[in-house]
Amino acid sequence: MLNGKDVSHFVGSHEINVEGHMEVQAIVQKHVDNAVSKTINLANDYPMGNMEKLWLDYLPRLKGTTFYREGTRGFVDKDGKVLEPPLKSIPLKEAMYRFKELHSVSTEVINDCASGLCEI
């Protein structure tokens, strides 16, 4: 429960396997005429042979895909010092907590959106 609402049906991106990400994208893209952006998260040790097979299976149904291999984004200087740590997935509840903390949001509705209401 979050502010009295059941959010148990929501999951974070790291809780969906690679095939699940691709299936979601394939289903959504059937109903989009133009472009869709979807990042498919890969564990750092995910076998590229598995990715290759899935990609070839789903390629006819996808308009475009972005893949992110966990732990590969960041910046290390010439001396090996990590200046920007790699990105890593966090659970949905932690992401919601961080968002609310960063934006001082005490409810699930934000009143500074262009449309007037943005729901989290």
**Residues in Cβ contact with 83 at an 8 Å cutoff, skipping those fewer than 6 apart:** 75, 76, 77
Percent of the chain with pLDDT over 90: 0
Q: Which helix (H) or strand (E) holds 29?
A: helix 18-29
Q: Is the pLDDT of residue 2 over 60?
A: yes
Q: Where are the domains of the chain?
A: 13-89
53-79 average pLDDT score: 80
Q: Is the pLDDT of residue 72 over 80?
A: no
Inter-residue contact 41 to 47 (CB < 8 Å): no
pTM: 0.54
Dmax over CA atoms of the chain, in Å, equals: 50
Dihedral of the CA atoms 75, 80, 82, 87 (nearest 10)?
A: 50
Q: Tokens standing for 22?
A: 């691709």
Q: How many residues belong to the chain?
A: 120
Render pLDDT for 39-49 as a digit per residue (tens, 0 to 9).
887 888 889 88
More confident residue, 71 or 27: 27
Q: Tokens standing for 18?
A: 């690679």
Q: Is the pLDDT of residue 33 over 60?
A: yes
